[in-house]
A and B are shown apart, each in its own frame.
Chain A
Amino acid sequence: MTVPALLSVEDVAVDLPTPRGNLRAVDHVDLKIAAGRTLGIVGESGCGKTMLSRAILQLLPKKARLSGRVLFDGQDLPRIGAGALRRLRARSLAVVFQDPMTSLNPVLTIGTQLMETLREHLALDHAAARARSIALLAEVGIPAPEQRLKQYPHELSGGMRQRVAIAIALSCEPKLLIADEPTTALDVTIQAQILDLLAREQRRRHMAMILITHDLGIVAGRTDEVAVMYAGRVVERAPTPKLFKRMRMPYTQALLAAIPKLDAPPHAPLPAISGRPPDPTQPLDGCSFSPRCSHAGVRCHREKPVLRDVEEADHHYACFNPLEVAAGLGS
């Protein structure tokens, strides 16, 4: 990659101690994202997507242990100390959460929540903060922003609330926005609007964005690069067009095949991935997807494949028996 990375995650592992033993939520992940680019992180529930995002933001649960480096703008986040981290979070990092019902404080008005951040971090006075809040709400497509300032979160719809959450996240002009399943709690029509809004604001502000989702369809048109996670590891990483044209990891294909298609004949069975993800407290010797994989060979059960670029420099995958045929499923 020629562009210097804004965020680079190097060999990050997150361990969570549980009563049943050590749980490795994120297993030695390497990722890079340059300014102004979008990275999609895709995987099923419990594959470590959210833990990875929390590791980047340094918002892991207290008991969790983090190893590896998270370099943001050349600073190693786990080691820069609380004060510097706080300043960095305020100005450069932002996050949008899955559920807008819980990510806004229910007893404070929209205006209080927006203006507080602005006054604290940008040192604006009351009038300036108010003007900017109104501008921000208008930017994220909220009608009558002046009246919204006086409203409480429960007076707004789910989509509106998510727009407010995005406005708060964007308020300090972050360099990196992490959207952790921003549309999972919303219905499909709102979903597209919110994603378009995120994409538009991202282009306008030239910020980097990490879009975390379990839906390959969402990342298809809206990201520059996609990392597919399974059981805490990145199993395939490639520029988005390349990944969809020619996916090599059987898991990625299975994930794509599991999206219901509108043009499928009625009563066509949905090709779900059989079995369950491996127990993260009991790591397997071989590839973690091998028990569910239709392409698995003897070697897959014995040895862990590493993430490598085999044919092309920017297409990494961790598989001994990659798919040879072009998947060509489209979305």
Chain B
Amino acid sequence: MATLELTIRERIAARPARRASRLGLLFWLAIGWMALIFAVAIFADLLPLPSPTDMDMLEKRAAFSGEHWLGTDGLGRDELARLIFGARTSLVVGLCAPVIGVVIGGALGMLAGYFRGRFETLVVGCMDVLLAFPPLILALAVTAYLGQSILNLTLILGVLGIPAFTRVARAATLTLSRREFVIAAQALGATHARILLRELLPNVLLPLTAFFLVGVAITIVAEGALSFLGLGVPPPEPSWGSMIGEGRESLDIAPRLAFLPAIAMFLSVLSFNLVGDRLRALTDPRQGTL
């Protein structure tokens, strides 16, 4: 009897350990990098940094020094400060745009998947149109018409992200609303709103959250690409994309000016992808017995 109890206790103790190791070291490194980026972006104003927009024409492309840890750029602005304030831009756009996508797209997708019929046809049709529209042209048109600002940039990238979230939400809802727990809820007298919010939403949130993190990574790259092309954040404001664009001019003399923001962006995007991918694998219904 005693030995039996012992083995059971051991097995229970072993379970959390296995779960932790399943996430892997890389996952925690990614989380660490994300935490660091978030921390410096949030507290950028409190850090003892030189202004990211103050130019010092005497110290153009200065090398690493005690005064400028990562040197200065082509206009003599502190590279580290620009990187950190650029992280702010990247994260604000990178987080807000997918939020627009996940809220609107998720809602549309769930409604389409649950109610089916003509509404679904309409939503899917609209999303196909939006997907078929060249994103760069749309961004160009909107910035030309409304002007360059972080808000406009976020809105464009958010709207462009809607179709993907709609598809994820609709696909999940389609399979889930066939499950008997939805019929069981109906049989217990639940309203449509209740079924959508209480029964389906918690289920759909799993794939949506995982896809949200991938969406953040995609958006950071997209913001970088637009800023690189000069369509993103207006010039004095730093952004990783525009920093790479500016560094391109002096690639032969000071390649670090393009590589430092590129490395920051690479690590951030990799982190979001890794975390998103691992979470998706964890919530994959094929692995668990959902």
Which one, B191, B202, B288, contacts A154 given CB within 8 A? B288
A245 contacts B by Cβ under 8 Å: no
Taking CB atoms, residues of chain A closer than 8 Å to B181 are 102-106
Chain B window 182-200, contacts with chain A (Cβ cutoff 8 Å), 1 for yes, 0 for no: 0111111111001000110
Which one, A103, A120, A172, contacts B184 given CB within 8 A? A103
Q: How many A-B residue pairs have CB under 8 A?
A: 68
B289 contacts A by Cβ under 8 Å: yes
Give the docked Cα–Cα distance between A104 and B289 (Å).
Answer: 12
Stretch at the interface among A87-95, A127-135, A263-271: A87-95
Give the docked Cα–Cα distance between A157 and B137 (Å).
Answer: 55
Residue in B closest to A152 when the chains form the complex, CB atoms: B290
Could you tell me how many residues of chain B have their Cβ less than 8 Å away from some Cβ of chain A? 24
Residue in A closest to B201 when the chains form the complex, CB atoms: A107
- B179 A102 Cβ-Cβ under 8 A: yes
B51 contacts A by Cβ under 8 Å: no
Give the docked Cα–Cα distance between A94 and B198 (Å).
Answer: 19
Which residues between 175 and 222 of chain B lie within 8 Å of chain A, taking CB atoms? 179-181, 183-191, 194, 198-199, 202-203, 206
Give the docked Cα–Cα distance between A107 and B191 (Å).
Answer: 19
Give the docked Cα–Cα distance between A172 and B289 (Å).
Answer: 29
- B202 A108 Cβ-Cβ under 8 A: yes
Which residues between 51 and 98 of chain A lie within 8 Å of chain B, taking CB atoms? 57, 59, 62, 86-91, 93-95, 97-98
Residue in B closest to A97 when the chains form the complex, CB atoms: B180
A173 contacts B by Cβ under 8 Å: no
Which one, B186, B188, B198, contacts A168 given CB within 8 A? B188
Taking CB atoms, residues of chain B closer than 8 Å to A117 are 188
Taking CB atoms, residues of chain A closer than 8 Å to B202 are 105, 107-108
A165 contacts B by Cβ under 8 Å: yes
Give the docked Cα–Cα distance between A117 and B189 (Å).
Answer: 9
Give the docked Cα–Cα distance between A87 and B186 (Å).
Answer: 11
Nearest chain A CB to B184 CB, angstrom units = 5
Taking CB atoms, residues of chain B closer than 8 Å to A103 are 179-181, 183-184
Nearest chain A CB to B290 CB, angstrom units = 4
Residue in A closest to B182 when the chains form the complex, CB atoms: A105
Taking CB atoms, residues of chain B closer than 8 Å to A242 are none
Give the docked Cα–Cα distance between A72 and B188 (Å).
Answer: 16
Known A97-B183, A102-B179, A102-B180; contact A154-B290, beta-carbon cutoff 8 A: yes
In the A-B complex, the 7 residue pairs with the smallest Cβ-Cβ separation, listed nearest first, are A90-B189, A106-B290, A103-B180, A89-B189, A107-B202, A102-B180, A97-B180
Which residues of B come within 8 Å of A, CB atoms? 116-117, 179-181, 183-191, 194, 198-199, 202-203, 206, 285, 288-290
Question: Apart from A62-B116, A98-B180, what 13 extra A-B contacts exist at CB < 8 Å?
Answer: A59-B183, A59-B186, A89-B186, A89-B189, A95-B184, A97-B183, A102-B180, A103-B179, A103-B180, A105-B199, A108-B199, A154-B290, A165-B184
